[in-house]
Chains A and B, each alone.
Chain A
């Protein structure tokens, strides 16, 4: 009994020590992902993609076939046909929405002078404490760490960690570890946009109290961070107050509805971005 308990104790210690070593290794060299992480992440992203497709397929089978199985009486048949028509309408609407979203994405892709890659959002962060998405593009498509991710209406975030062959993690602008160089479009006042803790809001830091900033002003990327291309919309100013120190307290509403994102564009930064922005 004592020996068994001792053995469990050693095992617990060994496992916990393993975790501590794993965490310590990343704290020092966070930029480099190891093989286990890449393989594990890719495998799970694959499972997520299959799961989402299967869930959609099962949902479709259920609504089209199984739910109609028990319709024997005429009244029920009529009700079912109405339901089917409504379902078709919903499907058409969903298809139209998807087509519109893709059309907007295509329009954006054609209108900007950047090399972009369309991607689909397949999963969200596995813990409630970070704001990341997984997209279905990875190193196999040329995606690398720190590539910017945009949507038709504005900036979404950037690729973090080492992407898998067919999947990459995207840190949203509303994640507390995210930030972007920004400008107020009307006055060209520069600052840094970062997340407000625990909310889907952004704050703009380092804008001088002397600058003219108004509610409703548009905030765009400045391009100085070398990640986000210049001039893309981040959001609009919700609230502005004179700060106690040198800088204003500014709250920004992001233009992108992060909960509704299905398709995004990954800006393939092959050095041209730095050239365009004049940034090394």
Chain B
């Protein structure tokens, strides 16, 4: 069940990544939602999950991209496994910790991604510091949103169910 949920989260993150820009009439959004999902998965579930989450997220992302298939997978699986190991060692929780890892992962991901393209002498994407900073900020914001939503979802769902129940009782009484 947890695996299915993780796979669904990764597929959803890639889908949102590729369709969100269309709703804002943009050609692209400088954000990496699948990377955020990989980092959060590695932090909560360890290196093996981080590795597979990174591989899947990167592979799907590459399929929907104009670049080579495997480059994002390579960088994200390496990030997933490294963060998973670090998370096991540090044993911390809290927002600051997650924010730090998302920001670090953004930088490492860009370095690895561009590095692989440089190595194979394929036309390397041009990345400037400001792009990385912008992506880091947006990734952190997306990470906070995902964490807050996933933490509050059960409470929110309970509230909605309660409210629906009250409405149903009110309707039954008026009828």
Contact = CB atoms under 8 A, between A and B. Distances in A.
A259 B25 contact: yes
Contacts of A30: 68
Interface in A34-52: 37, 40-41, 44-45, 47-48, 51-52
A248 B72 CA distance: 37
B74 A11 contact: no
Contact of B65 (A8, A15, A132): A132
B73 A19 contact: yes
Contacts of B21: 124, 259
A58 interface: no
B27 A131 contact: yes
B15 A44 contact: yes
Contacts of A22: 69-70, 73
B10 to A, nearest CB: 11
A269 interface: no
Contact of B135 (A128, A174, A175): A128
Contacts of B55: 15, 19
Contact of B25 (A12, A160, A260): A260
**Chain B interface secondary structure, helix, strand, loop or mixed?**
helix
B93 to A, nearest CB: 23
Interface string A3-34: 00000100110011001101110110010000
Contacts of B28: 124-125, 128, 131
B61 to A, nearest CB: 4
Contact of B61 (A127, A177, A198): A127
B66 A41 contact: no
B91 interface: no
Interface residues of B, number: 54
Interface string A115-129: 000000111111111
Interface stretch (B37-45, B117-125, B140-148, B150-158): B117-125
A174 B125 CA distance: 13
Given A124-B18, A160-B66, A176-B123, A8 B48 contact: yes
A127 B65 contact: yes
A125 B66 contact: yes
B127 to A, nearest CB: 7
Contacts of B81: 8, 12
B22 A124 contact: yes
Contacts of A132: 65-66
B36 interface: no
A259 B61 CA distance: 20
A128 B29 contact: yes
B63 A40 contact: yes
A203 interface: no
Contacts of A44: 11, 14-15, 18, 60, 63-64
B116 A134 contact: no
Interface residues of A, number: 50
B14 A126 contact: yes
A211 interface: no
Contact of B123 (A12, A37, A177, A198): A177
B18 A125 contact: yes
B117 to A, nearest CB: 9
Given A11-B51, A15-B51, A169-B66, A126 B73 contact: no
Contacts of A128: 28-32, 131, 135
Given A11-B48, A124-B18, A128-B29, A23 B66 contact: no
A51 B125 contact: no
A51 B27 contact: no
From B16, B19, B23, B60, residue with most partner A Cβ within 10 Å: B19
B22 A52 contact: yes
A200 B25 CA distance: 14
Given A20-B70, A23-B116, 12 more contacts: A8-B81, A19-B74, A23-B70, A27-B120, A124-B28, A125-B28, A125-B64, A126-B61, A127-B62, A127-B72, A259-B27, A260-B25
Interface of A: 8, 11-12, 15-16, 19-20, 22-24, 26-27, 30, 37, 40-41, 44-45, 47-48, 51-52, 55, 121-132, 134, 160, 169, 171-172, 174-177, 197-198, 200, 258-260
Q: Which 3 A-B pairs have the closest CB atoms?
A: A129-B125, A130-B66, A22-B70
